[in-house]
Structure 1
Amino acid sequence: MGGAFVAAAILARLGSRIGLPTIPLFILAGILLGPNTPGFVLLDDPHDLEMLSALGLVLLLFYLGLEFHMDDLKTGGRKMAVAGCTYLALNVGAGLGFGFALGWGTSEALVLAGVLGISSSAIVTKILVDLGRIGSPETKPILGIIVVEDIFLALYLAALQPVISGADDLGAMAVDIGKAFGFLLVLAVAARWGTGLIGKLFAIKDNELLVISFLGAAVLISGIAETFGVADAIAAFMVGLILGNTTSGDRIRDLVHPLRDAFAAIFFFGFGLSIAPGDLPTVIWPVLIAIVITVSMNLLAGVFTARIYGFGPKPAANVATTLLARGEFALILATMAAAAGLDQRLSPFIAGYVLILAVVAPLVAGRSHWFARLMPGGREASGQAEVVSADADAEPAGSRS
């Protein structure tokens, strides 16, 4: 664990000198020191960091929930649902079509639909934090899309498991979906009507006790959620949403910062440990085609989201590029596919696809203005900005206030 922290810190410090984001560097540290690359191996088994990685994911999504206010959900719930469903329809639909086009099998196509269709909540959250966009107007629809994705994820996993394992018990599938939906409903009711009571429970003056309390609540409820078939990420988000709207919300937000940053580094390091870059050449062409499809669908989803919210080209590009990364959910699907004995090409495909997008997405998100020109009205807006800049430069110095 100490080696993981130090390796991540060294690479991140080196990267910061040339302006690289931390996410791909943390992942790179895991790849270089993991069992899938030659040289020194810090950890033979990536599962050794599994619990710490899970804690990193929980804290990232918990923090995201703290930044998401109930008023935003009440006033923009319909728009968020439309934007999220549009994003899923485009990306999951394209992933399903791509899976069938590969001809690897129906179960494999269903797995690929999820791999190409669902963003990485952890990477998206870290990008928003690193780029200082938490308070930007387009961040609200981005968070809304993540919420819709995670709700879909809970139902999708419940339905997918018996399908890819060859089970034909529709009753058991219905029970699993019902349990997941019921647990989400309980969290939603608590977020809507239980904030006052919960706020009293967390009205704690001592910072030490407050940290123990909110950390215990986030981890416990995330763990319970998993037993109901709900992703721990969405449960952590909901706990953050509830606590962020209490009187202690601002203090909790400040206190969780160092915990979030430390364990997020371990999450991405552990992510890198599980990737075997040597397997990538065997599936490089399907991976590259899938990346082109994902970028195209994200740009299209950014355009639709911008129209729903009345945004211009730049926010539309921010939405499209921020949601580009794929990550932890895709690796979960790879594990499920391997356990079910599906096509052996799935694992290296998913690893290569996730690795490239996890590295590229933070870089692209930081340069989203390049993609803004591809959006409707992007060239005109760019031209107007250049004209305004030229006019400002041409003004006499004495005429400026």
Structure 2
Amino acid sequence: MGGAFVAAAVLARLGNRIGLPTIPLFILAGILLGPNTPGFVLLHDPDDLEMLSALGLVLLLFYLGLEFHMDDLKAGGRKMALAGSLYLALNVGAGLAFGFVLGWGTSEALVLAGVLGISSSAIVTKTLVDLKRINNPETKPILGIIVVEDIFLALYLAALQPVLAGADSMGSALVQIGKAFGFLLVLALAARFGTRLIGRLFAIKDNELLVISFLGAAVLVAGVAEEFGVADAIGAFMVGLMLGNTASGDRIRELVHPLRDAFGAIFFFAFGLSIDPGDLPVVLVPVLAAVALTVLMNVLAGLCAAKIYSFGPQPTANVATTLLARGEFALILATMAATAGLDDRLSPFIAGYVLILAVVAPLVAGRSHWLARVLPGPAPKDPPAQEQAPASEPARTH
């Protein structure tokens, strides 16, 4: 763990000198010090960091929830649902079609629909923080799309698991979907009607006790969510959504920053440990085709969001590029596919696809003004000063 922190810090500081974002550098540190590249191996088994990595994802999404206010959800719920549904329709639909075109099999196509269709919540969150775009007008729709994706993810996984396991009926799938939907409904009701009670429970003056309380709540609800077939990330997000609207919300945002940054780095480092660059040449052509298709679908999704929210070219480009990354969910699907005995080319394909987008997406997001210049609408102004700063500079919230 100490080696992971030091390696991530050293590479990030080097990258800071040339203006590179931290995410691909943390991933690169994991790749270079992992078991899949020559030279010194810090960790032979990526599972050694599994719990710390999971905690990093939970904290990233918990912070995302803290920044997402209930008033925004009430005021723009329909628009967010529409934007998220269109994003999923474009990307999941394109992924399913791409899977069938590859001809690897029906189950493989269903897996690829999720791989190409779902953004990385962790990378999207970190990108928004690094680029200091949390308060930008297009950030609320981006977060709304992430929420819709996570809800879809819970139902998708519940339906996919029995299919990969070769279940004879849809009974098992329907039970899992019912459990996931029921738990999401409970969380939504708690967020809608329980804010006052939750605020009283977390009206804690001592910072030490407050940290223990919100960290315990986020991790516990994330774990319970996973037991009900819901992504742990959405559980943590909902806890953040509830706490962000309490009187202690501002203090919690300040206190969670160092935890979020530290364990977020471990998440991306562990992400790099699991990737084998040597597998990429075997499936390079379909990987590049999938990356090109994902870029196209994200631009179209950004244009749809622009139509819904009346955005200009720059916010449209920010939406399209920020949501481009694929990550933790795709790797979960790769594990499920390997366990189910699907096509051997699927795992290296997913690894290569995720690696390219995880590295490229933060770089592209920081230069979204290039895309804005060719989008329809009035010519965008130069990017604000805070977006021109090196992406690896830590965000500061006052």
What CA distance in whole angstroms lies between the structure 1 residues aligned with 2:25 and 2:322? Answer: 17
The answer on whether the counterparts of 1:199 and 1:243 sit within 8 Å (CA) in structure 2 is yes
Q: Which residue of 1 aligns with 2:173?
A: 173
Displacement of 1:376 in angstroms is 1.6
Q: Which residue of 2 aligns with 1:217?
A: 217
The answer on whether the counterparts of 1:303 and 1:376 sit within 8 Å (CA) in structure 2 is no
The answer on whether the counterparts of 1:191 and 1:241 sit within 8 Å (CA) in structure 2 is yes
The answer on whether the counterparts of 1:225 and 1:231 sit within 8 Å (CA) in structure 2 is yes
What CA distance in whole angstroms lies between the structure 2 residues aligned with 1:229 and 1:375? Answer: 40
The amino acid of 1:112's aligned partner reads: L
Q: Which residue of 1 aligns with 2:105?
A: 105
Q: Which residue of 2 aligns with 1:309?
A: 309
Q: Which residue of 1 aligns with 2:388?
A: none
The one of 378, 381, 391 aligned to 2:379: 381
1:199-348 correspondence to structure 2 within 5 Å: 199-348=199-348
What CA distance in whole angstroms lies between the structure 2 residues aligned with 1:168 and 1:215? Answer: 41
The amino acid of 2:8's aligned partner reads: A
Displacement of 1:169 in angstroms is 2.8
Runs of 4+ in 1 over 4 A off after TM superposition: none
The answer on whether the counterparts of 1:28 and 1:272 sit within 8 Å (CA) in structure 2 is yes
What CA distance in whole angstroms lies between the structure 2 residues aligned with 1:239 and 1:88? Answer: 24
Percent of residue pairs bearing the same amino acid type? 84
The amino acid of 1:119's aligned partner reads: S
What CA distance in whole angstroms lies between the structure 1 residues aligned with 2:199 and 2:135? Answer: 24
The amino acid of 2:379's aligned partner reads: A
What is the CA deviation profile of residues 49-93 of structure 1, one whole-angstrom value per residue up to 9, with x for unaligned ones? Answer: 000000000000000000000000000000000000000000000
What CA distance in whole angstroms lies between the structure 1 residues aligned with 2:250 and 2:298? Answer: 33
Is residue 43 of structure 2 the alignment partner of residue 46 of structure 1?
Answer: no
What CA distance in whole angstroms lies between the structure 1 residues aligned with 2:46 and 2:10? Answer: 20
What is the CA deviation profile of residues 223-247 of structure 1, one whole-angstrom value per residue up to 9, with x for unaligned ones? Answer: 0000000000111000000000001
What CA distance in whole angstroms lies between the structure 1 residues aligned with 2:291 and 2:276? Answer: 18
The amino acid of 1:215's aligned partner reads: L
Q: Which residue of 1 aligns with 2:139?
A: 139
1:47-126 correspondence to structure 2 within 5 Å: 47-126=47-126
Q: Which residue of 2 aligns with 1:398?
A: none
What is the CA deviation profile of residues 6-53 of structure 1, one whole-angstrom value per residue up to 9, with x for unaligned ones? Answer: 000000000000000000000000000000000000000000000000
Is residue 23 of structure 2 the alignment partner of residue 23 of structure 1?
Answer: yes
State the SS of the aligned residue for 1:19. Answer: coil
Q: What is the CA RMSD across the aligned residues, in angstroms?
A: 0.8
Using structure 1 for the length normalisation, give the TM-score: 0.95
State the SS of the aligned residue for 2:99. Answer: helix
Displacement of 1:374 in angstroms is 2.6
Q: Which residue of 2 aligns with 1:390?
A: none
What CA distance in whole angstroms lies between the structure 1 residues aligned with 2:164 and 2:321? Answer: 31
What is the CA deviation profile of residues 268-306 of structure 1, one whole-angstrom value per residue up to 9, with x for unaligned ones? Answer: 000000000000000000000000000000000000001
The amino acid of 2:132's aligned partner reads: G
The answer on whether the counterparts of 1:65 and 1:237 sit within 8 Å (CA) in structure 2 is yes
Displacement of 1:165 in angstroms is 1.7
Q: Which residue of 2 aligns with 1:189?
A: 189
Q: Which residue of 2 aligns with 1:394?
A: none
State the SS of the aligned residue for 2:176. Answer: helix
What CA distance in whole angstroms lies between the structure 1 residues aligned with 2:338 and 2:49? Answer: 21
Is residue 19 of structure 2 the alignment partner of residue 8 of structure 1?
Answer: no
**In the comparison of the two structures, how many residue pairs are matched?**
382
Using structure 2 for the length normalisation, give the TM-score: 0.95
The answer on whether the counterparts of 1:158 and 1:229 sit within 8 Å (CA) in structure 2 is yes
Is residue 35 of structure 2 the alignment partner of residue 35 of structure 1?
Answer: yes
Q: Which residue of 1 aligns with 2:394?
A: none
State the SS of the aligned residue for 1:381. Answer: coil
The amino acid of 2:10's aligned partner reads: I
The amino acid of 1:381's aligned partner reads: A
Displacement of 1:164 in angstroms is 1.5
**Range that drifts further, 366-375 or 290-299:** 366-375
What CA distance in whole angstroms lies between the structure 1 residues aligned with 2:374 and 2:273? Answer: 36
Displacement of 1:170 in angstroms is 1.3
The amino acid of 2:17's aligned partner reads: R
State the SS of the aligned residue for 2:5. Answer: helix
What CA distance in whole angstroms lies between the structure 2 residues aligned with 1:65 and 1:372? Answer: 28
What is the CA deviation profile of residues 290-348 of structure 1, one whole-angstrom value per residue up to 9, with x for unaligned ones? Answer: 00000000000000001100110000000000000000000000000000000000000
What CA distance in whole angstroms lies between the structure 1 residues aligned with 2:208 and 2:164? Answer: 46
The amino acid of 1:219's aligned partner reads: V
What CA distance in whole angstroms lies between the structure 2 residues aligned with 1:300 and 1:93? Answer: 13
Displacement of 1:373 in angstroms is 2.0
The amino acid of 1:192's aligned partner reads: R
Displacement of 1:350 in angstroms is 0.2
What CA distance in whole angstroms lies between the structure 2 residues aligned with 1:381 and 1:259? Answer: 40
The amino acid of 1:242's aligned partner reads: M
The amino acid of 1:77's aligned partner reads: G
The answer on whether the counterparts of 1:202 and 1:248 sit within 8 Å (CA) in structure 2 is yes
The answer on whether the counterparts of 1:67 and 1:244 sit within 8 Å (CA) in structure 2 is yes
What CA distance in whole angstroms lies between the structure 2 residues aligned with 1:295 and 1:361? Answer: 10
The answer on whether the counterparts of 1:198 and 1:243 sit within 8 Å (CA) in structure 2 is yes
What CA distance in whole angstroms lies between the structure 2 residues aligned with 1:97 and 1:171? Answer: 26
What CA distance in whole angstroms lies between the structure 1 residues aligned with 2:66 and 2:227? Answer: 24
The amino acid of 1:185's aligned partner reads: L
The amino acid of 1:280's aligned partner reads: L
* Residue ranges of structure 2 left out of the alignment (5+ in a row): 383-398
Structure 1 or 2, whichever has the larger Rg, is 1
State the SS of the aligned residue for 2:379. Answer: helix
State the SS of the aligned residue for 2:314. Answer: helix
Displacement of 1:171 in angstroms is 1.2
